[in-house]
Amino acid sequence: MKGRVLIVAGSDSGGGAGIQADIKTVTALGGFAMTAITALTAQNTLGVTAIHEVPPDFVAEQMRVVLRDLGADAVKLGMLHSPQIIDVVRETLDAEAPDVPLVVDPVMVAKGGAKLLRDDAMAALKEKMIPGAAVITPNLPEAEVLCGQTADDRESFRRLGTALTRLGAGAVLLKGGHLPGDTVVDLLLAGEGPPLVFEDTRIESRHTHGTGCTLASAVATGIAQGIPLRQAVTRARAYVRQAMMTAPGLGQGHGPLNHAHTVRPFGG
């Protein structure tokens, strides 16, 4: 079976983002999800109230036992939190899955504003995880931090995408949801050619919790299933948009998506 995705990320107790969103997404798109949890968070749609980091050695052990038995067709990285976690994840990938495509979602801040990547971990993320990744999926604020430059219109957004390609990943999916305007623009930069531009009408909704995790996991699932990157991104974006438009309306803050919109109810 192709479509095995090992997710290395943090847990969201509210079920909208992190490991929980990743598992739902991979499953809904026909893949098989496995996990190595890097941190436990206490959170809901209003924000993160506490973070408990998993010991680095135990993160590595979760990865090792999964990779040695079940294998993986893609690895998706989400919340890594600390330099120590980044170090052991890199070492374990090099030892156990050196040729498995890596999708890096450089998670830095939760939707409610809590920091999910420590300040002292930024250099390690840029040095050890981004170079050689099959694709990275930053949103605009994350891209600005990674490159040390800002973007507030389409031209500067495109320049930011070009700057991201110099960090060493095989491809960059730069998400433009934070840019102003009624149209959302994402860029896929891969190789030497011009970026592929995706445009959609903005969905006005407070139910946006976990959109980044969900998109990255959907892309990783496509890669794991052998789908070319462009088609994997196209499918992933369509999946996320439908999940937003059919969101269940839960919570008082940034609500979760409807990850199960592809799934027919049992017996239905």
Which of 41, 211, 214, 221 is catalytic? The answer is 211
Which of 18, 161, 210, 255 is catalytic? The answer is 210
113: burial class by Cβ within 10 Å (0-12, 13-18, 19+)? exposed
Nearest residue to 119 (alpha-carbon basis) of 71, 82, 160, 163: 82
Which of 41, 137, 208, 221 is catalytic? The answer is 208
Query: CA separation (Å) from 246 to 96, 98, 211, 241, 258?
Result: 39, 38, 13, 9, 6
The answer to whether residue 208 is catalytic is yes
The answer to whether the CB of 103 falls within 8 A of the CB of 74 is yes
Would strands 4-12 and 196-201 be described as parallel, antiparallel, or unpaired? unpaired
Give the whole-angstrom CA distance, residue 208 versus residue 126: 26
The answer to whether residue 211 is catalytic is yes
The answer to whether residue 221 is catalytic is no
What's phi and psi for 137, nearest 5 deg? -130, 60
The answer to whether residue 212 is catalytic is yes
Which of 78, 213, 221, 251 is catalytic? The answer is 213
Which of 175, 176, 214, 222 is catalytic? The answer is 175
Give the whole-angstrom CA distance, residue 206 versus residue 186: 20
**Using the 8-state DSSP alphabet, how is residue 121 labeled?**
G
Which of 212, 222, 251, 255 is catalytic? The answer is 212
Mind telling me the catalytic residues?
175, 208, 210-213
